[in-house]
Amino acid sequence: MTIIIGLGNPGQKYKKTRHNLGFRVVDEFAKENNFPEFKFVKKYKALISKKDELILVKPQTFMNESGKATRTVLGVTPRTVLVVVHDDIDLPLGKFKISRNRGSAGHKGVQSIIKELSSKDFTRLRVGIRPARYRGLVRSTEKFVLQKFNKDEEKIIKEVVKKTVETLELFLTQGLKNNE
């Protein structure tokens, strides 16, 4: 069983924010691969879509508590491969990187998962959100990640979401050969 968890915040207010990039990737993956509609499962505190041996998850806890939903979903699926998709302010806008068995680098959603699982042994698809002129532009990271992308950034994000989905599809068919 493989579980792909997209990180984000619940509600329309956050839908197109930088911090909800994980949700956007999982939504696009579901659409491209004809998954059933996401349904809220109360005991998991998450929106779930399942097809064959693959479960897509969008936690409905806020970002900083993503680990609670992750732990609950993983608790009922033995022998699971976990992939977490999330925004990353340390990567330039439009870039993405695969990481495995690494710390959170300050991402509070990832830190919550590591804490709840007592492990960092999972794969992460980190999608960059840092604009070219980030230094001096941003006073508060917390406020920045809750902002929406501007029109030019949105074009870049649509493209990187597409590439990230393709990478997820490759991962599922061929596995990752070169993990960090």
Residues 104, 114: Cα–Cα separation, whole Å = 8
Q: How far apart are CA 4 and CA 82, in angstroms?
A: 6
Q: Give CA–CA dist 163/172, Å, rounded.
A: 14
Angle at 29 between CA 33 and CA 37, to 5 degrees: 70
> Which residue numbers are catalytic?
19
| Total count of residues recorded for the chain | 180
The string of DSSP codes covering 123-172 is: EEEEEEEE-TT-TTT-S-HHHHHTSBP-HHHHHHHHHHHHHHHHHHHHHH
Instruction: Find all residues with CB under 8 Å of 35, minimum gap 6, and list them.
Output: 29, 49, 50, 51, 56
CA distance 53 to 33: 13
Q: How far apart are CA 94 and CA 149, in angstroms?
A: 12
